[in-house]
Amino acid sequence: MQIQPFELERWQSVWENKVELNISESGVRPLTTSELVPDAATLQKIIDVPQYYPQTNGSEELRSRIAELYPGATAENVLVTCGGSEANFISTWSLIEPGDEIVFMMPNYMQVAGLARSFGATVKPLWLREELQWGINIGELSRLIGPKTKLVAICNPSNPTGSVLRKDEREAIVAAAEKVGAWVLADEVYRGAEFDGAMTSSFWGGYDRILCTAGLSKAYSLPGLRTGWVVGSPKMVEKLWGYHDYTSIGPSMLTDLLASVALEPRRRAWILNRTREILLRNYPALRAWLESHADSFSHVPPKAGAIAWAGLSGGRNSAQMAEELREKKGVLLVAGEQLGMESFVRFGFGGDPGHLQKALGRIDEWLQENRVRSHTR
């Protein structure tokens, strides 16, 4: 099978550990294991655990803790996966047949669109609109979602815009999908990383063809654990478990235990509070920088996530800008093209603030050099 290259992941996989200033990340500074597990007794328990195969759909304890994040869900509604990416993968793989149509929110993390095309589906974009603060135009749903639609794939909170859908937008998407019996796949991996601390409402509930995916990589600052999950009806979760047998079989013993520690309610609150503190500490400097460069960038402030999405004035080519910044200035950011929208770039601000300042200084140099270049042409 020919697959569509996953440009964003290739870009990050190849360069993130080679550049001097990586501001391509969408999460916040990761926790260490000792920060996550500060008490010696729990740490010892984790070290002493025999490395058997784990419960392959996730331990009962971990699945119950995940279920607490979805009103009315129980452990039966949850399948633990290797990252949110595996959750998205098996969900798409299990649903898409050649000739299907999917409606896919754009701009977006392009995994589900790339997979669906590779599996032979047609992808119709559901655009987030800058003039609607990166919300959707509800009126477009009836034109896009029809009898041929197999799946409607949403990312909420949105990567890359950081916007959060309103209740009426969520309800309109579910109603349009339900009308034609389409599935809704809601990637909610940034849920919990809201600036105002109000947890984004999940798409979960109300319609039995909803799958919600998420994990510990973003709001929980634990990407290295590779813990994700999918929440759905018990019947669909059972089916997806069968697909999971063909991918990673199960989580690792250590990640299952560490993920249960992270989602223990008090620990979970502590982690999400830390994430929010990082967002509130780091974003103002980036926002001020973008506002002081309004001649070069447009920007709608994010509501969630350590990512800022900025439009390039004059329709500048984002891939060329990202490539030149990497090569000449040692700065890695993400070209909008890799998130499905040209002439935008994504800044990650969840890392070290000094590092971000330095990267912005290099971008200033690049902008200055480009201005000189375009004047001397």
* Type of residue numbered 374: S
Q: Which of 284, 279, 288, 285 minimizes the C-alpha distance to 351?
A: 279
Site for ligand PLP in 226-255 (CB under 6 A): 228
Q: Is 223 in the site for ligand PLP (CB under 6 A)?
A: yes
Q: Is 221 in the site for ligand PLP (CB under 6 A)?
A: no
| 3 state DSSP class of 69 | coil
* Tokens (6 digits) for 144: 């896009």
Which region among 78-86, 113-121, 246-254, 310-318 touches ligand PLP (by CB under 6 A)?
Answer: 78-86
The smaller minimum CB distance to ligand PLP, of residues 296 and 310, is found at 310
* Tokens (6 digits) for 323: 């490539």
| 3 state DSSP class of 283 | helix
Backbone angles phi, psi at 169, to 5 degrees: -70, -45
Write the binding mask 101 to 140 for ligand PLP: x where contact by CB under 6 A, - elsewhere: --------x-------------------------------
* Tokens (6 digits) for 214: 């998420």
Write the binding mask 156 to 195 for ligand PLP: x where contact by CB under 6 A, - elsewhere: ---x---------------------------x-x------
Distance of CA 284 to the CA centre of its chain: 22
Q: Which of 37, 21, 45 minimizes the C-alpha distance to 222?
A: 37
Tell which one of 22, 85, 161, 255 touches ligand PLP (CB under 6 A). 85
Q: Which residue has 């979602």 as its token pair?
A: 145
Q: Is 215 in the site for ligand PLP (CB under 6 A)?
A: yes
Tell which one of 84, 232, 250, 340 touches ligand PLP (CB under 6 A). 84
Q: Is 26 in the site for ligand PLP (CB under 6 A)?
A: yes
Residues in binding contact with ligand PLP, number by CB under 6 A: 13
Number of other CB atoms surrounding residue 138 within 10 Å: 16
Which region among 82-90, 280-288, 309-317, 323-331 touches ligand PLP (by CB under 6 A)?
Answer: 82-90
Q: Is 83 in the site for ligand PLP (CB under 6 A)?
A: yes
Q: Which of 248, 201, 367, 354 minimizes the C-alpha distance to 297?
A: 367
The smaller minimum CB distance to ligand PLP, of residues 212 and 289, is found at 212
Cis peptide before 107 (omega within 30 of 0): yes
Which region among 33-41, 80-88, 253-261, 279-287 touches ligand PLP (by CB under 6 A)?
Answer: 80-88
Q: Which residue has 């034609």 as its token pair?
A: 180
Binding site for ligand PLP (CB under 6 A): 26, 83-85, 109, 155, 159, 187, 189, 215, 217, 223, 228
